[in-house]
Amino acid sequence: MIAARKLGRDYGTKRVIRDLDLDVPRGGFLLLTGPNGSGKTTLLRLIAGLLVPTAGELDVATTRDRVGFLGHEPLVYRELTALENLDLYGRLYRIPERRERIGMLLERFGLWDARNQRVDSFSRGMTQRLALCRTMLHGPELLVLDEPFNALDEDGAALLDRELAELRPQATFVVATHDPARLAPLASDRLAFA
Amino acid sequence: MTAYVSDVITLARKDLRLELRARSTVPAMLLFVVSALVVFHFALPAGSSDLAAKGLLWVAIVFTALLGLTRAFVAEREQHLLDGLLLAPCDRSAIWLAKSIATLAFLLVAELVALPAFAIFFSGIDGATIAGVVLADVGICAVGTVLAAMAVAGRARELLLPLLFLPLAIPIVVGGVGAGVADNPGRYLGFLALYDVVFAIISWASFEYVVAE
């Protein structure tokens, strides 16, 4: 699913990733660990197609519409409601039966009652739940998640545990986390950045 | 093609809805353009020619447009939302086209107030001037939106956009003023239409490379 050879990425004169070789098979679950600034987010953005490598090769065997990306930012408009945000992405991803899918995800992530509230009235945890809804809206086959448990309370984290376990057989995962023990039962590979 | 149009409509409607909620761009453009015309009204000596007044109208329009363009990608910049749009499977030029349409709508609203205000403060507006303004708006929004996207990625974005945009706006001002004051405005309107077509194609084709990191 993902193959990298001598992959490198520079920001100006700063080399963040150097000579990285990587293989993630279809259905694999790669766990990325390492301190802040070690290159985890850069690798995730490269895999999602948001960055272009400055050295080496990166082959991701899927199309843009089958990638679900959760970054540090929720990528939802604060001035729009939860429903409007998901409807926007649902239209852009051309999801069949969009409204049913959005309703199901909002229910599942405990946001149905807040569906008509603007995101700027949401707590951080609710915004993260909405970001997870956005990430999973189009049923991606490759999930690229950067600290997915950020800002979630215990209920939210338990909910995400269940979601990831349910999706595990259907998708390929690349997940960066500072809590590898939580995801270790799901992981098939681990890459530690220094 | 249908999917492309549908994406453009979805994205443009989102931008219009954001403005209706936030009301941050159009009121600022209206206030600016009216204030500028009031200042010009008192700055221009009594008995000055219509030609001088038409020139000032274009100064007001170009800087009002610049104000709108500066805010074109504010939501995407502050909330890093461009990533979300770039991840979507739509053609990236649809983002440019939708943003251009939204900015054009804001500029037209500002001009709906600015042109009557100009007629009150200075002199009447003829059909050629209005046609020149509309054609100029299309060019301003086509070029300005791609430059605004370019400036968003930079650090000194508030400085970068005027530096990039104003040189490219010179032909628009030449065509616009010419259409308003010449005996035969057709040549100038044709020039503005040609500018719109050429720069819209360049902007449409280059947007993908502008937003790629």
| A194: in domain | yes
Residue numbers of the domain that contains A147:
1-62+141-194
Interchain CB contact of A93 with B (< 8 Å): yes
Report domain extents, chain B.
2-211
* Residues A25 and A53 occupy one common structural domain: yes
Given a cut of 80, whether residue A92 has pLDDT beyond it is yes
* Residues A165 and A191 occupy one common structural domain: yes
Residue matched to tokens 């950067």: A146
Determine the Cα–Cα distance for residues A76 and B58; give it in Å rounded to an integer. 37
Determine the Cα–Cα distance for residues B19 and B72; give it in Å rounded to an integer. 10
Query: What is the average per-residue pLDDT within B65-81?
Result: 91
Predicted local confidence at residue B152, as pLDDT: 84
Closest CA to B177 of B49, B34, B43: B49
Q: What is the CATH number of the domain that holds A43?
A: 3.40.50.300
Asked if A134 and A67 touch (Cβ cutoff 8 Å), the reply is no
Three-class secondary structure of residue B168 per DSSP: helix
The distance of A191 to chain B (nearest Cα, Å) reads 24
- pLDDT-derived band at B153, boundaries 50, 70, 90: confident
| A72: in domain | no
* Residues A47 and A103 occupy one common structural domain: no
Query: What is the average per-residue pLDDT within A153-182?
Result: 93
Predicted local confidence at residue B51, as pLDDT: 84
* Residues A154 and A180 occupy one common structural domain: yes
Nearest CA in chain B to A80: B18
Predicted local confidence at residue A114, as pLDDT: 96
Query: What is the average per-residue pLDDT within A76-96?
Result: 96
Query: How many CB atoms neighbour CB B89 within 10 A?
Result: 15
Predicted local confidence at residue A12, as pLDDT: 84
* Residues A1 and A54 occupy one common structural domain: yes
Query: What is the average per-residue pLDDT within A61-83?
Result: 94
* Residues A115 and A149 occupy one common structural domain: no
* Residues A130 and A145 occupy one common structural domain: no
| A30: in domain | yes
- The domain boundary, picked from A125, A140, A155, lies at A140
Given a cut of 80, whether residue A175 has pLDDT beyond it is yes
Count of the separate structural domains present in chain A: 2
- State the sign of the Cα–Cα–Cα–Cα dihedral B15, B16, B22, B26: positive
Given a cut of 80, whether residue B1 has pLDDT beyond it is no
* Residues A148 and A123 occupy one common structural domain: no
Report how far apart, in Å, the C-alpha atoms of B213 and of each of A69, B71, B80, B131, B202 are. 16, 21, 13, 38, 19
* Residues A55 and A151 occupy one common structural domain: yes
Query: What is the average per-residue pLDDT within A77-82?
Result: 96
CB distance B87–A80 less than 8 Å?
Answer: no
- The domain boundary, picked from A95, A112, A140, lies at A140
DSSP assignment of A115-163: TTSBGGGS-HHHHHHHHHHHHHTT--SEEEEESTTTT--HHHHHHHHHH
Determine the Cα–Cα distance for residues A150 and B81; give it in Å rounded to an integer. 19
Query: What is the average per-residue pLDDT within B139-166?
Result: 90
Closest CA to A133 of A67, A48, A68: A68
- pLDDT-derived band at B157, boundaries 50, 70, 90: confident
Lowest mean pLDDT among A26-40, A121-135, B37-51, B182-196: B37-51
Nearest CA in chain A to B19: A79
Which residue stretches of A11-147 are H helix? 40-48, 82-92, 98-108, 124-136
CB distance B89–A50 less than 8 Å?
Answer: no
What's the mean per-residue pLDDT of chain B? 93
Query: What is the average per-residue pLDDT within A70-78?
Result: 94
Q: How does pLDDT run across B85-117, given as a tens digit for each residue?
A: 999 999 999 999 999 999 999 999 999 999 999
Interchain CB contact of B138 with A (< 8 Å): no
Query: What is the average per-residue pLDDT within B33-39?
Result: 96
| A68: in domain | no
* Residues A91 and A125 occupy one common structural domain: yes
* Residues A123 and A91 occupy one common structural domain: yes
CB distance A89–B11 less than 8 Å?
Answer: no
H or E, element range at B135: helix B127-153
Amino acid at A94: R
| A67: in domain | no
Interchain CB contact of A63 with B (< 8 Å): yes
Nearest CA in chain B to A11: B213
Given a cut of 90, whether residue B213 has pLDDT beyond it is no
Percentage of the residues of chain B whose pLDDT score is greater than 70: 100
- State the sign of the Cα–Cα–Cα–Cα dihedral A63, A67, A71, A76: positive
